[in-house]
Chain A
Amino acid sequence: MDVKIGDITIPLPPFGQLIFFMASGLAILAAFMMITRKNAVHSALWLVLAFFNLAVMYVMLGAEFLAALQVLVYTGAILVLILFVVMLLGLQENPQPQLGGIHTAQLVMAWPVGLILALQIVTIIIFSPQTRIVNIGDTIGNTHFVWSAQAVLAAGGNVKVLGMSLYSQFLLPFEIASLILLVAVFGAIVLARKEEPAEVEEIVPSLGISVGRRSIANSSQEDQLEKKLLPALGITYAPDATEIEREMPIVDQPTTVGSGTTSGVEISPTKTEAGK
């Protein structure tokens, strides 16, 4: 493939290499823009571009299913989730970031460290005799399950082969992955939930009575409850729990006091002892 402009002939690399240069260049550019933008929304949108270009490279490597997965899961779900949280919180970064103290040290240290690390890895890859000669599609080593591109095509394509190996060779990890997702769903719900008073029966230690809602204990409502309840019971309020216990009538069954407004409040001697 050559391009002729007048008398000058510019040799072009093969088509696959052109696509690779486009995708990789855009991915690196988008990643660089992602980490340098001030606005988190802009960062997220640049990251979308980087992920799309990574999907292009997955297609070039014969991983069509993973390219689709990349677009659907990463750009479709994870980044939308990140954007959702960015906009939900609505907190912008400081318009004038205070470049002082530890943050300057971070910037000064992290960029050289990261670039030197990249240089090191790239140098190792260039001078490694294995990677220099191996093209994608060549077979090196001896793998147990050999899936060359021709074998994948003959077996019905990438998606089918991936599914077959996922449900046979990697069945146990697949099931564990489903458990991880389940746990993550529970964890996300528990963490992101607003703190609401749980309907847990607890004991007010100073009163020796159990209340239906946890939020009443150790709050201002506790005082109101005491004022409301104690005259009706005929007990003089004393912060010392032992005096109450002395005056409290001993009953075998828990007595429910007040059907309407103070429902769920009950007195039981066993719980009084447990409260101590």
Chain B
Amino acid sequence: MDISTVSGTTGVPLAWFLMVSAVLFCLGLIGALTRRNVLVIFMSAELMMNAVNLTLIAFGASLNSMAGQNFVVFVVTVAAAEAAVGLAIVIALVRQKPTIDATDIDLMKE
């Protein structure tokens, strides 16, 4: 395997980063699908977003472009905003009904 000496990566192919990113994304997906705690679902969403960030940075590094890293800056910004609003929603939900179980949150059902 040809070893790249650029930017300290020393011979890690792009495909490996993409595979790790895919596995992390799918673990986050499984977490979001199986867990019932709203906060853990939230953390799984953060994990999925980080997996996508890794893909963006890896492709940016392989394409010699800064666009991937710039995009990640914006993804992190949106993730921070999402965290603030999402946790505020969780707090508002708990005020209505003291549970963080996603299956118990059915206030609009009746």
Contact = CB atoms under 8 A, between A and B. Distances in A.
Interface residues of A, number: 105
Contacts of B63: 139-141, 143
B57 A66 contact: yes
A166 B25 CA distance: 27
A191 B91 contact: yes
Interface stretch (A82-90, A225-233, A238-246, A259-267): A82-90
A8 interface: no
- The range of chain B's interface size is 35 or more
A169 interface: yes
B61 A63 contact: yes
Given A135-B13, A137-B9, A78 B80 contact: yes
A106 B20 CA distance: 25
Interface string A148-179: 11111000001001100110011001100100
Contact of B27 (A32, A126, A148): A32
Contact of A138 (B28, B62, B66, B81): B62
Interface stretch (A111-119, A205-213, A215-223): A111-119
Interface string B56-99: 01101111111101101110111111111101111110110011
Contacts of B76: 66, 69-70, 73-74
A49 B98 CA distance: 30
Name which of B37, B58, B69, B84 has the most chain A CB atoms within 10 A of its CB: B69
B39 A82 contact: yes
A54 B90 CA distance: 27
B85 A58 contact: no
Contacts, number: 306
A14 B10 contact: yes
**A-side interface mostly:** helix
A136 B69 contact: no
Contact of A173 (B16, B23, B74): B74
Contact of A50 (B10, B24, B39): B24
Interface string B1-36: 011111111111111111110111111111101111
Contacts of A250: none
Contacts of A88: 91
Given A28-B23, A136-B6, A81 B66 contact: no
Name which of A13, A57, A140, A148 has the most chain B CB atoms within 10 A of its CB: A57
Given A91-B100, A146-B64, A63 B69 contact: yes
Given A114-B27, A162-B70, 12 more contacts: A35-B44, A63-B72, A79-B43, A121-B19, A126-B15, A135-B12, A139-B64, A140-B63, A177-B78, A181-B77, A184-B84, A187-B88
